Each structure stands twice: as C-alpha cells, then as structure tokens.
Amino acid sequence: MNFKRFAAVFLLFWFFFIIVFSLGAGGSGYYLYRELKSNIRDIEDSKISIIQSLADATVLAASIDDDNERKNRLDTFYTDPGNSNFYEKAFLVSDNGSIISHSNPAEAKELNYNIAADEFRYNTDIIFEVLNKNTEKVSVNDYYIMGSDIPFSKKEIKYIKEYVYPGIDRNGWIVSRVFDVNSKKGQKINYVSCFIVSKSTIYDEINNSIKSAKKSIVVISAVSFALAFIVSFVVFIVFVISGKKSGKSESVFEVKSDYSGTSIQAPDYSGQNEIILYEDDESMDSNIIIQDAIPIRKRR
C-alpha cells in the first residue's frame, strides 16, 4: 500500500475518533450538567423546607408565658440529635440580640448571651432582616459560616458560580423566623428563631458530579478509540485487497519478452489478400477462407 493510502487511513482514524468523542462527551456532559443542577435544586428545596418546619416548631415551643419554661423547652428542642442533624447551629434571640436559647450553650456563654458580641460569626444585618419585612415571617439567605471551608479553588468557584450554582461562594444558609410573644408585663416582644445550615451536601454533589464526568471521559475516549480503530482497520484491509487486485490487472497488460530479451512481434499479414485456414480437426469446416479479415465460405 502506497503512502497516500496509509495517510488516508491515519487521517480517517483521527477524524472518526474526534467526531465520536465530541458527540459522546457533549451528550454526556449535557446530561450530567442538567442532572447536577436538578439535584442541587432538590437538595436546596429539601433542606430549606425541613428547616422552615423546624422554625415553625420553635414558635410552638416558645409560645408560653413562663420564661424559664420557654428556655428549657427551646434548649431541649435545639439540642435534640434528631433536629441538630439538619443544621450547624440554632438559636433564639430577642430583637435586641439577647440570646434566649442556643444549640451550643458554651458558645452562648462565650458571647455573654448576646450575638452582638461577635458580628463576624453572627451577622446581625442578615439575622434581623426579617424584622423589616411586613409580609414575610420567614427569611432565607446565603450565609458564610466561619471556620467552614469551601472545598474548591478560587478558579473553580468562579466557574461554578457562573455556570452551575451562584451561591457557591457562601458555604451556608440562615433561615430566620420571626414571631412575637406577650410578656407578663403586657409588652409585645419580637423573637427571631435562627438556623444556620451548611451547604456541605451541595459541595458533595458537585464533587460527585465532577468524578462522574472524569469517568465518563475515560469511557468515551476508550469507546471512541475502539470504534475509530475498527473503522480504520476495515478501510486499511480494503485498500490492501484492492491494491493486490490492481497489481494483478496491470501485470496482464505488460509487454512480454522472449528469452533473448527482444520483444515478440506479431506476424504482419497486411500484404496478403486472403488467408486460408488449415485445420486438422475434422469438426472444423476446412472450406472457410478469410479475405481481407472477413470470413467467407468457399464457393463450390
């Protein structure tokens, strides 16, 4: 097989490989992308729905007149393992920042029972935002949890934020539920029940999707290579077979030479007017004469 055919097979391999790989990677990438965004929405909706239900439950626990009984109920509610699995921390504060109950009593004591003592861990602007809303009793906001890292590089965060999940640069949510209670003195006191929730499940989902994408690329590459190799091999065999057939056809038309090396010349009968054929085979008609290359039957 000549060089041109070999080059054609080589180019065909890479052309077929690129086409199959592009189609496979594009289809797989689109599917994983849509699935990831859908899963993130489901996780977000599920988590926030559960926390909103817990926030509503704190209203029932806190809607009693006795302050001590209210605190005991809330302490039990916030520290219950069945509830605390859904959040990083939870607390109830009055509108002046005083902590009524906290899921981590040691941290509440460290803050001297007022969240205003540490505005880095407790963003009061976001926590009390719900107090300024007349129609909404529940507020959900992205929130940065101090001491909890985002498991992505700055470059990865940039692309994930732009194309996958805009809230990737905040590692949590804060769900605030406002309600009021009448004190023994007849005064209305506004309380805010807050739950700080981690986005770790979303980060895990993104990481799992990235791992799945890498595995898909490996599988698609292997399949694309195998298909391209099979197609190219078949074309290569066809070229080899066709090359052998064309070689045999060309040999039929080659000029043959005698043993001395001189070409064998056909005898020249152009000077004769007629050619008489003599045949020993009795089955042949010996009365046939060829004149001027036209066979005729001899007259009797």
With beta carbons less than 8 A apart as the criterion, state whether 43 and 205 touch: yes
CA distance 88 to 82: 13
The pLDDT profile of the chain, 300 residues, written as one tens digit per residue, is: 567 777 888 888 899 999 999 999 999 999 999 999 999 999 999 998 999 888 888 888 777 777 788 888 888 888 888 888 889 999 999 888 899 889 999 999 999 999 988 888 898 888 888 887 765 678 888 999 988 888 999 999 999 999 999 999 899 999 988 887 766 666 677 888 899 999 999 999 999 999 999 999 999 999 999 999 999 888 888 877 776 665 555 554 454 444 444 544 555 555 554 444 444 444 444 454 444 545 555 555
Check residue 39 and give its pLDDT. 94
Check residue 73 and give its pLDDT. 87
Domain definitions of the chain by residue range: 3-220
- Reduce the DSSP state of residue 264 to 3 states and report it: coil
Which of 193, 195, 197 is CA-nearest to residue 92?
193
Cα separation values, 97 from 134, 140, 173, 194, 267, Å: 20, 19, 19, 12, 125
CATH class of the domain comprising 3-220: alpha beta
Q: What angle do CA 65, 191, 97 make, to 5 degrees?
A: 120
Contacts 24+ apart (CB under 8 A), 29-33: 29/213, 29/216, 32/209, 32/212, 32/213, 32/216, 33/164
- The reported pTM is 0.71
